[in-house]
Amino acid sequence: MSSLPAPLNPPNRILLGPGPSDVSPRILRAMSAPTIGHLDPHYLRLMDEVRTMLREVMRTKNELTFAVSATGMAGMECAVSNLLERGDELIVCINGVFGGRMADMAERQGIVVHKVEAEWGQVFELAQIEDAFERHPGAKAIGIVHAETSTGAHQPMEGIGELAHKNGALLLVDMVTSLGGTDVRMDEWGVDACYSATQKCLSCPPGLAPVTFSKRAEERIASRKTKCVSWYLDVSMVRDYWGSARSYHHTAPINMTYALREALLMILEEGLEARFARHDLNHRALRAGLEAMGIEYVPARSLPMLNCVRIPPGIDDAAARKHLLDEFGMEIGSGLGPFKGKAWRIGLMGESSSRRNVMLVIAALESALAAQGSPAKPGAGPSAAQALYGSRG
Amino acid sequence: MSSLPAPLNPPNRILLGPGPSDVSPRILRAMSAPTIGHLDPHYLRLMDEVRTMLREVMRTKNELTFAVSATGMAGMECAVSNLLERGDELIVCINGVFGGRMADMAERQGIVVHKVEAEWGQVFELAQIEDAFERHPGAKAIGIVHAETSTGAHQPMEGIGELAHKNGALLLVDMVTSLGGTDVRMDEWGVDACYSATQKCLSCPPGLAPVTFSKRAEERIASRKTKCVSWYLDVSMVRDYWGSARSYHHTAPINMTYALREALLMILEEGLEARFARHDLNHRALRAGLEAMGIEYVPARSLPMLNCVRIPPGIDDAAARKHLLDEFGMEIGSGLGPFKGKAWRIGLMGESSSRRNVMLVIAALESALAAQGSPAKPGAGPSAAQALYGSRG
């Protein structure tokens, strides 16, 4: 190597994309505490605390609740590959990137996938799901995305668990983007397996995937005829590491666990209801501001933490995002799939969901539109957003 | 939840087990730099720098060199599941835990495994490997462990790649414990796929698995009839994220990448030869000290960074390790499999490989033996170790 790279010096961004979100300095500080052994009695206590707090945030009593030692998509693979085996039938609801991804993951393992599709940006009605079970009575599980990060659509969960269980199937839910930013009720909704990620509304760096499995899912796993196709993600072994046996399976990402623990602690200190109300208020303020600027939302039923909006006619996507990054150090997300070049995804997740960021992203977008000669109703956005906050602070 | 956990306060350990090893404060500081986006132009530059430095440390020119977004065992799963598909034959050399694990991983995926076994603590001779290829001419790859962390055995690599290639097979090597602590020569040895981990001789927190694939391996991957069974570990997609396409695949563990980059920078600043010499000297000093105390090594050919030694007769394993942890804040590893309760594994990896730690672990072991009424030759260990350092510093 001719010369060594320069000292690390990442820019100070404002992360308003689809994740990672801004990480509190308190979490970064926790993460940089001295590394200890993965079987150290002190570390085992930290693991227990993480499990207990995760259950609280996920609103579940599930014993089998822990964090997969990899990022969110490994959580998806963990759920799929443990609940199902080669030849099993799985219904997958697809209305964006992540449902499609679940289908791909399952098919690679020889699982028979039945796709139920809705337009990108739409959510699923109970009738569609009922119909899918009628057409595929052998389905052992149904997979659905609670918060579709590619479209911003917020899937209602009521009744799906009941339908699945009536048909002898398990309910597998993607909560990557929703967990910690809006209410998720694992037990009440009858969810049997759910996965999330640390870098969205938990506002922790990426690197772990919280998961939970119901008693029903545990029974399914115990009755498998074949081993889980993934050794790394096999919960029957990982459980013995996180559980009372403390058997060595793999070396957990110690410092990431410090970070997740701190993030969960901050969530519980804030309180779930207060946190959800904060996400909701900032979303409504952003929405009021954007709509006042003439910018439309893609989904009919939008998530509070992920705002997928149509790029105004005549505006160049890449140039506008470059303007935000260069002039404001601000990141927003581009569109995926059919929305590539046509939509922006503005995240207000966890630490990033603040009045300051709402006002700033509206101002920055005004600037970006003006830079392209489209100064849509100057001043309208900020006033509309401001109105939502009323006379508060 | 009745009450929230106390503020994070992990103890200050001296990590002399089989990993994680001690992490330099400089790396912890780098890791806690502000999180940026996984598609940020600045992050993409950091990824390139990590790849370039990894190639240097791995002594390879392989284009396909990157870090899997999970811990070391996911690196093993990545190598196995990309090189081979259902029905393919794989020879696995087993002389400890990790060869056995590779066989388990492969079998779960429907790969036909041919096991070649050697006694735990022993290494493989070329003749055994030659014989395996004669018996299994259809083998598409052979897997072997360079540094068997469960026994401390150091496998010689010369000639194995040639044998594999002559037989139309790829060479897959576990370098989890060796990378960064002793010489590994990917290209010279004809290695086609290799995986490692950050928490051993790279002295970075656990969370990433450096991997590299040869041109020959890339061709094999390109000619697969089926998709890689794991979506998360599919290098044909991960390559497009780390490569010039920069396609979104998953969200990389940003802050872990900061840490790995800093760790690699520190290794190249020290210089590979100087680093290997340091590991070698500290190993020889420890060995001299332990042998002077009457403690024997398990493997005939020991790794420099992992010292697997027999627990002296009459000494209680758990009590001795508890003594080290409670009295000295020092972690050493227990034995695995047939060595459970019979051996200790003393790691001198990366940052942990220092004269200070050698002298301290010898003193701590003297104390632990004395506490159990077995004060084996007091003073002999420290003097013998000290002698190795000569009059230096």
Q: Where are the beta strands (DSSP E) in chain B?
A: 14-16, 64-68, 89-94, 112-117, 141-145, 147-148, 153-154, 170-174, 193-195, 209-213, 306-310, 330-334, 343-347
Chain B residues lying within 8 Å of A42, measured CB to CB: 10-11
Higher pLDDT, B274 or B238: B274
Chain B: closest CA distance from residue A387 (Å): 31
Chain A residues lying within 8 Å of B5, measured CB to CB: 49, 52-53, 261, 265
Q: What would the pLDDT profile of B75-130 be if each residue is shown by its tens digit?
A: 999 999 999 999 999 999 999 999 999 999 999 999 999 999 999 999 999 999 99
Query: How, if at all, do strands B170-174 and B193-195 pair?
Result: parallel
In A107-136, the residues whose Cβ lies within 8 Å of chain B are 107-109
Give the pTM: 0.97
Task: Confirm or reject contact between B34 and chain A (CB < 8 A).
Answer: yes
Mean pLDDT on B41-64? 97
Q: Is A214 helix (H, G, I), strand (E, B) or coil?
A: coil
Chain B: closest CA distance from residue A391 (Å): 32
Which pLDDT value is given to residue B259?
98
Mean pLDDT on B263-267? 98
Q: What is the CATH number of domain B271-389?
A: 3.90.1150.10
Q: What are phi and psi of A90, to 5 degrees?
A: -135, 130
DSSP per position, B280-348: HHHHHHHHHHHHHTTPPBS-SSB-SSEEEEEPPTT--HHHHHHHHHHHH-EEEEEP-GGGTTTEEEEE-
Preferred mutation among B73, B149, B230 to probe A, highest tally of A CBs within 10 A: B230
Residue found under tokens 């029905």: B87
What are A239's two structure tokens?
């459980």
Task: Confirm or reject contact between A248 and chain B (CB < 8 A).
Answer: yes
Q: Do B5 and A261 touch (CB under 8 A)?
A: yes
**Cα distance between the two ends of chain A:** 54
Task: Confirm or reject contact between B252 and chain A (CB < 8 A).
Answer: yes
Strand order in the sheet with A64-68: A64-68, A209-213, A193-195, A170-174, A141-145, A89-94, A112-117
Chain A residues lying within 8 Å of B31, measured CB to CB: 31-32, 255
Q: ω before B20 within 30° of 0 (cis)?
A: yes
Residues 6+ apart with CB under 8 A from A271: none
Chain A residues lying within 8 Å of B246, measured CB to CB: none
Q: Do A34 and B13 touch (CB under 8 A)?
A: yes
Chain B residues lying within 8 Å of A268, measured CB to CB: 1, 4
Task: Confirm or reject contact between A329 and chain B (CB < 8 A).
Answer: no
Q: Which residue of B has its CA nearest to A247?
A: B336
- Give the residue from B57, B60, B33, B59 showing the smallest Cα distance to B46: B33
Q: What DSSP state is assigned to residue B52? A: H
What class does CATH assign to A25-268?
Answer: alpha beta
Mean pLDDT on A163-182? 98
- Is the pLDDT confidence value at A183 over 60? yes
Distance CA B154, CA B178 (A): 9
Which pLDDT value is given to residue A308?
98
Which pLDDT value is given to residue B374?
85
What are A332's two structure tokens?
């927003």
User: With b meaning 16 or more CB within 10 Å and e meaning fewer, what string describes B197-227?
Assistant: bbbbbbbbbbbbbbbbbbebbbebbeeeeeb
Chain A: closest CA distance from residue B228 (Å): 7
Which pLDDT value is given to residue B1?
56
Q: Do A206 and B17 touch (CB under 8 A)?
A: no
What are A268's two structure tokens?
């519980």
Which pLDDT value is given to residue A393?
46
In B273-292, the residues whose Cβ lies within 8 Å of chain A are none
Q: Do A31 and B32 touch (CB under 8 A)?
A: yes
Chain A: closest CA distance from residue B311 (Å): 20
Q: For residue A110, what are the CA distances in angstroms to A15, A193, B87, B186? A: 38, 20, 14, 34
Distance CA B287, CA B229 (A): 44
Query: How, if at all, do strands A193-195 and A209-213 pair?
Result: antiparallel
In A191-220, the residues whose Cβ lies within 8 Å of chain B are 197, 199, 205-207
Residues 6+ apart with CB under 8 A from B244: none
Q: What would the pLDDT profile of A80-129 be if each residue is shown by its tens digit?
A: 999 999 999 999 999 999 999 999 999 999 999 999 999 999 999 999 99
Q: Which residue of A has its CA nearest to B267?
A: A4
Q: Where are the domains of chain B?
A: 25-268, 271-389
Question: Which pLDDT band holds residue A2 (cuts at 50, 70, 90)?
Answer: low
Chain B residues lying within 8 Å of A329, measured CB to CB: none
Which pLDDT value is given to residue B393?
45
- Is the pLDDT confidence value at B392 over 70? no
Q: What would the pLDDT profile of B8-28 be if each residue is shown by its tens digit?
A: 999 999 999 999 999 999 999
Which pLDDT value is given to residue B378?
80
Distance CA B146, CA B350 (A): 17
In A308-327, the residues whose Cβ lies within 8 Å of chain B are 325
Which pLDDT value is given to residue B280?
98
Q: Which residues pair with A331 in a beta bridge?
A: A15
Query: How, if at all, do strands A306-310 and A343-347 pair?
Result: antiparallel
User: With b meaning 16 or more CB within 10 Å and e meaning fewer, what string describes A6-25?
Assistant: eebebeebbbbbbbbbbbbe
Preferred mutation among B251, B258, B336, B344 to probe A, highest tally of A CBs within 10 A: B251
- Is the pLDDT confidence value at A392 over 70? no
Preferred mutation among A15, A56, A82, A255 to probe B, highest tally of B CBs within 10 A: A255
Q: Do B69 and A72 touch (CB under 8 A)?
A: no
What sections of chain A are H helices per DSSP? 25-31, 41-58, 72-83, 97-108, 126-135, 160-166, 215-222, 235-242, 254-270, 272-292, 317-328, 355-371, 380-389
Chain B: closest CA distance from residue A250 (Å): 7
- Is the pLDDT confidence value at B2 over 80? no
Chain B: closest CA distance from residue A73 (Å): 7
Task: Confirm or reject contact between B168 and chain A (CB < 8 A).
Answer: no
Distance CA A19, CA B297 (A): 49
In B2-31, the residues whose Cβ lies within 8 Å of chain A are 4-5, 8-13, 15, 17, 19-20, 22-23, 28-31
Q: Is A52 helix (H, G, I), strand (E, B) or coil?
A: helix
Which pLDDT value is given to residue A391?
66
Chain B: closest CA distance from residue A49 (Å): 7
Residues 6+ apart with CB under 8 A from B307: B152, B283, B286, B287, B290, B297, B345, B346, B347, B348
Chain A residues lying within 8 Å of B227, measured CB to CB: 107-108
Proportion of chain B above pLDDT 90, given as a percent: 94
Residue found under tokens 């007769």: B313
